[in-house]
Amino acid sequence: MIDMKNMAVHYSGTELEALSNINLSFKQGEFICILGKSGAGKSTFIRCLNGLQKPTKGEIHLDSHPITNLKGEALRKTRREMGMIFQHFNLIPRLSVLQNVLTGTFGYRSSFKNMIGWFKADELDQAKRVIADMGLSQMVDRKVENLSGGQKQRVGIARALVQKPRVLLGDEPVSSLDPGTANHIFVLLKEIHERLGLLTVINVHDVELAKRYATRIIALKNGEIIFDDKPENFTGEAYHNTYESKPQHSFST
């Protein structure tokens, strides 16, 4: 479904590549967690997948079609298929839950309709259904600035899902949440992933969450892949290679 061939990213003014020699293939139905220390290249990796960052070298293909250098309308159409969940939510605080979720439909609409804020009945109904799926029906008209962190992230997920994506991407979507809320969000993401048959790729800072929910773990270090295998094989040695330290507690599965 997604293929990366010799993908690399080099930021001007730096000596090291943010990503180097990335060759990966992702299939629909996989739930992939990306691990690595801060600066390992995780965010750059996710941003390359949906066109927020252009690779310096190499190619990315979606369903065998090259998407690396897409621009304008072609890029917009490709992004419609990739819902994105952000670490810091990327919501508009003064707007309501419904208004924020509706921005997820913008890729299907004209710029004029987006500017004047006019939505068809079926667009409103779809947004409200997704909001209900997130357990936020009672907060449809509440301003996002008045929500908790976990509620804001559920709005972010709803905004991504209203796009009707085939691919769900997440850039550290639970790193700012407490452990209990983070686990709840991952339960929600896994349920959505399985129900809709998505390809899900998420950067994660919590190894235990990755091992609990992923079907495949990829670890990056200095922009290179150092682990690509099943979660049960990410043991103490793999942890040490990734983070250059021992895990806080022993784990093998």
Q: What six digits make up the tokens of 179?
A: 């452990």
- What is d(CA 6, CA 56) in angstroms, rounded to the nearest whole number? 10
**Average pLDDT across the chain, whole number:** 91
User: What pLDDT was estimated at residue 253?
Assistant: 46
Any domain includes 234:
yes
What is the count of structural domains for the chain?
A: 1
pLDDT tens digits along 25-37: 999 999 999 999 9
Decide if 159 is inside a domain: no
Does any domain span residue 218?
yes
CATH number at residue 21: 3.40.50.300
- Of residues 117 and 200, more confidently modeled: 200
Contact in structure between 83 and 165 (CB atoms under 8 Å): yes
For residue 53, being part of any structural domain is answered with yes
In a domain, 180, yes or no: no
In a domain, 46, yes or no: yes
182 within a domain of the structure (yes/no): no
**b/e for 236-252, b at 16 or more Cβ within 10 A?**
eebbeebbeeeeeeeee
The predicted pLDDT at position 146 comes to 96
**The pLDDT value given to residue 153:** 94
**Containing structural domain, residue 239:** 1-81+167-173+199-253
Task: Kindly indicate the confidence band of residue 250, based on its pLDDT and cuts at 50, 70 and 90.
Answer: low
Share of the chain above pLDDT 70, in %: 96
Q: 163-172: per-residue pLDDT in tens?
A: 999 999 999 9
The band of 112, judged by pLDDT with boundaries at 50, 70 and 90, is low
Task: Please check whether residue 192 lies inside any domain of the structure.
Answer: no
